[in-house]
Amino acid sequence: MLTLPALTSDIGVAVNTNVQKTAPVRRPVEPVGRNFMHHAQRTLRNHTWSEFERIQASKNVQRVEEAVDPDEALFDDELADESLLEHDPRDWKTADLYAAMGLSKLRHRATDAQVIKAHRKMVLKHHPDKKSASGGLEQDGFFKIIQKAFETLTDSNKRAQYDSCDYNADVAPPKKGAKYDFFEAWGPVFDSEARFSKKQPVPSLGGPDASQADVERFYNFWHRFDSWRTFEFDDEEVPDDSSNRDHKRYIERKNKAARDKKKTADNARLAKLVERVGSEDPRIKQFKEAEKKEKERKKWEREAGSRAEAEAKVKAEAEAKAKAESEASLAANAKVDKKKAKEAAKAAKKKNKRAVRGSAQAADYFGDADKAATIDEQVGLIVDTVDDEQLVELAEKIKGDVKAALAEYAQKLIDSKKLPASLLSYFA
């Protein structure tokens, strides 16, 4: 054992910097072995010692973790059901064989290798030799159950029969009327039922976002579900035929009938289950609604042509009607206007006539007051004889020289032979 000299003087850290260390020699190292690879990594990546040690430590931890048998984690740590220890080995059929093997978590999923491994583990723990060595009583009942379980689970035929009647592996469907999440409640139910399918893999229920094709595949599969489930495990013990052959045959017949009945009942149960799921599936409702909407949309699209036509028709009709109405109102207005104009013209004529008639009087009969009656008579003749246009002109002109205007028109009437000059003697 190394002992160090005692400290005699007060030295903290005294580095002899003046010293010339012996020069190192450069030599090749042998590129073999783990330590060389570590050396290479240190040199290449410039790790310090502490960094390198840390990296190595973390690698070692990983290696240790990997070394643990992954199966171990899947086995039960403790016996799932303590009452199995007291279970009567003669009634081994009623015991949970998977729990006895420590496979209550894996059940039908356990591989043959896992069964063998689990059995070895249980035997090491529960062998009667072990029990009696540790001072226990000679109770080998549980060990017998383990052996029976091993016998059953390692024979593929027997295991299939046991799995068929392993009700512990069933997942109960959700209660009707209770509130539950559809996918959470039904997914495991179908995953557990899937173990009886002859066809593998079995499509799973999927999530709320599953495509319609997936959902249809799921329902198609389950509507045509082909199950290998058999109920031979529940059979009544068949006696050997040495004593009574008839009785044996009777039991056999009874067993077969019971099996068939159970099988039918199981198929019916499953059909009911699938039907119920279908009715509750929110995705199916969604798909139906989507389908309906789609149909409507299609119909709408299909009728687009005729609808446009009808619309155009209605529009044209409305337009024609509006046009007719406006025309009618225009015509009515025009009538009224005409009437009014007529009346106005009439009134104007009257007024003009009156003005012309009165013009001579207003002009004091041009200084010929004695001939007033003649003038009036002749003016009256002129007024009555001239046409409307001439009357208007006359009415305008009489605002100037009345006598000249009258004379002019009298002359015009005479010229046009509407009146004989004799009748218009005054103005002619």
Partner 1 sequence: MSPIVGIAFGNTTSSIAYVNPKNDVDVIANPDGERTIPSVLSYVGEDEYHGGQALQQLLRNSKNTIINFRDFLGLSYSECDVSKCAAGAPAVEIDGKAGFVVTRGDGRQEQLTVDEVVSRHLNKLKLAAEDYIGQKLSETVISVPTNFSDAQKSALRAAAKKVGLNIIQLINEPSAALLAHTESFPFKEDSNVVVADFGGIRSDAAVIAIRNGIYTLLATSHDANLGGENLDEELVEFYAKDFQKKNQTNPRKNARSMAKLRANAELTKKTLSNVTTATISIDSLADGFDYHTSINRLRYELVANKVLSKFAQFIEDVISKAELDPLDINAIVLCGGSSFTPKLSSNLEFLLPESVAVLGPQCKEASNNPNELLACGAALQAQLLSNYDADELAQALDPVVINTQHLKKAIGLVDAKGNFVPVLLAETSFPAKKTITLKKAKGDFLVSVYEGDHHIKETIVEANAKAEQDDESDWSDEDDEPEVVREKHYTLASKLMELGIKGAQGLELSFSLNNVGTLTVAARDLKSGKVVKGEL
Residue 70 binds partner 1 (CB under 8 A): no
Nearer to partner 1, 35 or 242 (CB): 35
Q: Which is nearer to partner 1, 67 or 73 (CB)?
A: 67
Q: According to CB under 8 A, which one of 32, 64, 178, 213 is a site residue for partner 1?
A: 32
367 contacts partner 1 (rule: CB under 8 A) = no
Residue given tokens 């019916």 in the structure block: 268
**Distance from C-alpha of 318 to C-alpha of 320, rounded to nearest angstrom:** 5
Q: Does residue 11 touch partner 1 according to CB under 8 A?
A: yes
Binding of partner 1 at residue 69 (CB under 8 A)?
no
Asked whether position 17 contacts partner 1 by CB under 8 A, the answer is yes
Segment interacting with partner 1 (CB under 8 A) among 9-17, 83-91, 256-264, 415-423: 9-17
| Segment contacting partner 1 by CB under 8 A, of 24-32, 129-137, 163-171, 320-328 | 24-32
Please, are residues 196 and 228 in contact by the beta-carbon 8 Å criterion?
yes
Amino acid making up residue 12: G
63 touches partner 1 by CB under 8 A: no
* Cα torsion angle, 322, 324, 328, 334, sign: positive
Question: What is the Cα–Cα distance from 94 to 81, expressed in whole angstroms?
Answer: 13
Radius of gyration of the chain (CA): 63
Among 30, 86, 184, 237, binds partner 1 (CB under 8 A): 30
> Minimum distance from CB of 68 to partner 1 (Å)?
16
CA distances from 377 to 28, 39, 322, 425 (A): 162, 154, 57, 11
> What part of residues 218-277 is at the interface with partner 1 (CB under 8 A)?
none
Residues near partner 1 (CB under 8 A), total:
45
Window of 46-54, 171-179, 246-254, 378-386 that interacts with partner 1 by CB under 8 A: 46-54
Least distance to partner 1, CB of residue 110, Å: 24
Is residue 68 a contact residue for partner 1 (CB under 8 A)?
no
Q: Does 305 bind partner 1 (CB under 8 A)?
A: no
- Asked whether the beta carbons of 81 and 96 are under 8 A apart, the reply is yes
Report, in Å, the least distance between residue 34 CB and partner 1. Answer: 6
Instruction: Rule CB under 8 A: say whether 113 interacts with partner 1.
Output: no
Judged by CB under 8 A, which stretch of 15-23, 131-139, 150-158, 257-265 contacts partner 1? Answer: 15-23
Burial of 398 (0-12, 13-18, 19+ CB in 10 A): buried
In angstroms, what is the minimal distance from the CB of 6 to partner 1?
A: 6
Rounded to a whole number of angstroms, the minimum distance from the CB of residue 200 to partner 1 is 30
Residue 77 φ then ψ, to 5°: -75, -40
- Nearest distance in Å: CB 115, partner 1: 23
Which tokens hold the place of 139?
Answer: 């109770």
Q: How far is CA 328 from CA 104, 316, 320, 339, in A?
A: 97, 18, 12, 17
Q: Hey, CA dihedral for 248, 249, 254, 259, is it positive or negative?
A: positive
Phi-psi region of 23 (alpha: psi -120 to 50; beta: other; left: phi over 0): beta
Q: Burial level of 312, CB count in 10 A (0-12/13-18/19+)?
A: exposed
Stretch that binds partner 1, among 36-44, 163-171, 204-212, 371-379 (CB under 8 A): 36-44
Query: Cβ closer to partner 1: 10 or 389?
Result: 10
Structure token digits, residue 416: 């046009």
CB count within 10 Å of CB 277 equals 20
Considering only 41, 147, 197, 255, the residue that binds partner 1 (CB under 8 A) is: 41
Of 25 and 178, which has the nearer Cβ to partner 1? Answer: 25
3-state secondary structure (DSSP) of residue 243: coil
Residue 106 CB, nearest distance to partner 1 (Å)? 25
CB neighbour class for 166 (10 Å; exposed up to 12, middle 13-18, buried from 19) = middle
Stretch that binds partner 1, among 35-43, 86-94, 139-147, 345-353 (CB under 8 A): 35-43
Q: By CB under 8 A, tell whether 34 contacts partner 1.
A: yes
Binding stretches for partner 1 (CB under 8 A): 1-17, 19-37, 39-44, 46, 48-49
